[in-house]
Amino acid sequence: MKLHDDADTLNSMARIEALMSEELTTIELRRCESLAASEPGLRSVLEKLTESHTQIYPELESYLGEVRSLNEITVQINEMFL
């Protein structure tokens, strides 16, 4: 069971890190698109999308920290019983 849980945690951390990378790419892409947009309405929408992605990034970062902390605690507990 322990190995399965460890693999799940590592998979979760990898997925969160991938999402964070995707968000950073999306933020930069939307930022560039909004700067290049000549139509004010489109620029406004792109700026809102950029802001939305910018706000979710810290949540992903925080969640990754939580998962890492829980994983570290689990590893330490498991080491005590091995």
pLDDT digit string, tens, across residues 36-45: 999 999 999 9
Determine the average pLDDT of the residues in 26-31. Answer: 98
CA distance 21 to 3: 27
**Dihedral sign (CA 54, 60, 63, 65):** negative
pLDDT surpasses 80 at 26: yes
pLDDT surpasses 60 at 2: no
What is the model's pTM?
A: 0.79
DSSP state of 16: H
Asked if 53 and 30 count as a contact pair (C-beta separation under 8 A), the reply is yes
Determine the average pLDDT of the residues in 4-30. Answer: 90
- Count of CB atoms within 10 A of residue 21's CB? 11
